[in-house]
Amino acid sequence: MKTVGIIAEFNPFHNGHKFLIEESKKRTGADYCIVVMSGDFVQRGAPAITDKFTRAKSALSSGADLVLELPSYYSLGSAEYFASGAVSLLNKLGVVDHLCFGSESDNVDILSDIADILNNESDSFKRNIKENTKNGISYASSRENAVFSELSAINPALCDSDKEDEIKKALTLPNSILAIEYLRALKRSGSKITPVMIKRIGEDYHSNELTDYSSATAIRNSIVKNADGKLTLPDSVKNTMPGTSFDLLNEKLQSGEYVKEDILNTLLYYKLLQNKDDYTAFLDVNESLSNKIGKNIDKYETFEGFCDILKSKDLSYTRISRCLMHILLDIKADNMLKYKDDGFTSFIRILGQKKSSFPLLAEIGEKSEIPVINRLKDAEKLLSPLSMQLFRENLSSSQVYNLLCNGERISEFSLSPIIM
């Protein structure tokens, strides 16, 4: 039995995702595809466009065999935490042979070399960054310069301008950044999983063009209100998504099961007021950002508007959005450190599976280092105290998400995995 793993958000599921699943199975000869998918919140610092079970059903309809939840602590983390949390979960399953991921680059050797440099952080690398930042260069540019310098020392052929541009793209384009972090996580953990990189096809991550291979951004930005005031997907989106995915998302939008901005805005404002004196306990919020939040809180009107107020040359909108979501969901820096020191604490929560995947689940049951939570009420019997802490925090995040989408309290214990 051969198994390939994919780490994803499917926000929403589109043709590019279907291509990745199909190509992953084809290139690796895998019998099964396991997806570790962000649950209720995604890495750019926002609630998912629709619930995790709907997105899991879309994936199962297009080639995935088993979809597992990535807890919010990791799904809302930096690229490093997102990748590390997901890779750790795949490692602990004990059955995954390959990890497939997309990238704007098709040069896996350069990405692998960059991953080594970032993992090792040599004295010359750290000195280069320190000198550049001291001279007023941003940290991102300083790190880019330091990586290029280290690569040039390894292989002088990398000094030409074409390679420099390729390295810059690898360090700045979204999928390549994640690809590097997947490689770093595999190397750090001594994983036996073999990485397989697949070049991204179609539109760029931030493109708003609607084509056969559009970005998730373009699809989200295409959502409109119909005559009844309900959200809907225009027909122009149909060619960008598998039919089942289009229908599932449209059904959720028209039924009103999507994030209500007014609730999100109010909940965040309350949480900011509640912690007005100091926000540094929350993940990724340093003293400078904490002070900036406190100084500008009287200007708060909406979540997005506040992100715009706080962003700067050195603080991107996405970084701000993630930090605000950490505050909203009570995601603490100390807790993340505990999970990291534990090898990125995890548990197996199945969001969806195909009936044909039962042999795979049986093998996971035999080889996994962590338990499968078939019934949420059994979690306390199966999990270690630290895993149980992460489990409870993830349930709390899910309760907030359900409130944002439905305006009511929905118990995660009442929700069942998708079986197809």
Give the model confidence (pLDDT) of 182-208 as tens digits: 999 999 999 999 999 999 888 787 788
Q: Give pLDDT, residue 145.
A: 85
Q: Give pLDDT, residue 142.
A: 85
At CA 314, angle to CA 288 and CA 317, rounded to 5?
A: 95
Got the DSSP string for 351-380?
Answer: EEE-GGGHHHHHHHHHH-SS-B-SSGGGHH
Mean pLDDT of all residues belonging to the chain: 93
- Examine the domain organization and report whether 272 and 285 are in the same domain: yes
- Is the pLDDT at 169 greater than 70? The verdict is yes
Q: With bands split at pLDDT 50, 70 and 90, how would you rate the model's confidence at 321?
A: very high
- Is the pLDDT at 78 greater than 70? The verdict is yes
Share above pLDDT 90 across residues of the chain, in percent, rounded to a whole number: 74
- Examine the domain organization and report whether 248 and 285 are in the same domain: no
- Examine the domain organization and report whether 41 and 68 are in the same domain: yes
- Examine the domain organization and report whether 93 and 20 are in the same domain: yes
**Residue labelled with tokens 């990724």:** 284
Consecutive H or E run containing 216: helix 216-221
Q: Count of domains in the chain?
A: 3
- Examine the domain organization and report whether 78 and 50 are in the same domain: yes
Mean pLDDT of 369-374: 94
Mean pLDDT of 61-87: 97
What sign for the dihedral angle of Cα 257, 322, 100, 335? negative
Q: With bands split at pLDDT 50, 70 and 90, how would you rate the model's confidence at 106?
A: confident
Give the model confidence (pLDDT) of 232-245 as tens digits: 999 999 999 999 99
Q: Which of 334, 353, 385 is the last residue of a domain?
A: 334
Consecutive H or E run containing 66: strand 66-70
Mean pLDDT of 258-282: 93
Share above pLDDT 70 across residues of the chain, in percent, rounded to a whole number: 98
- Examine the domain organization and report whether 91 and 168 are in the same domain: no
Q: Give pLDDT, residue 143.
A: 86
- Examine the domain organization and report whether 190 and 222 are in the same domain: yes
Mean pLDDT of 103-124: 90
Residue 113 lies in a domain: yes
Q: With bands split at pLDDT 50, 70 and 90, how would you rate the model's confidence at 85?
A: very high
Give the model confidence (pLDDT) of 10-34 as tens digits: 999 999 999 999 999 999 999 999 9
Strand order in the sheet with 194-199: 194-199, 98-103, 3-8, 32-38, 66-70, 350-353, 418-419
Q: What domain range includes position 298?
A: 266-334
Q: Give pLDDT, residue 341.
A: 97
Q: With bands split at pLDDT 50, 70 and 90, how would you rate the model's confidence at 273?
A: very high
- Is the pLDDT at 59 greater than 90? The verdict is yes
CATH number at residue 22: 3.40.50.620
> Would you say 205 and 174 are in contact if contact means Cβ atoms under 8 Å apart?
yes
Q: Which of 318, 334, 350 is the last residue of a domain?
A: 334
Give the Cα separation of 201 and 102 in Å (integer): 9
- Examine the domain organization and report whether 71 and 216 are in the same domain: yes
Q: With bands split at pLDDT 50, 70 and 90, how would you rate the model's confidence at 157?
A: low
- Examine the domain organization and report whether 234 and 275 are in the same domain: no
pTM comes to 0.95
Q: Give pLDDT, residue 336.
A: 98
- Examine the domain organization and report whether 275 and 251 are in the same domain: no
Q: Give pLDDT, residue 161.
A: 61
Angstrom CA distances, 257 to 35, 309, 404, 405, stand at 24, 29, 9, 5
> Would you say 346 and 88 are in contact if contact means Cβ atoms under 8 Å apart?
yes
Residue 303 lies in a domain: yes
Q: Give pLDDT, residue 159.
A: 59
Q: Give pLDDT, residue 160.
A: 63
Residue 32 lies in a domain: yes
Q: Give pLDDT, residue 51.
A: 94
Q: For residue 194, what are the β-bridge partners?
A: 98
Mean pLDDT of 216-241: 90
Residue 261 lies in a domain: no
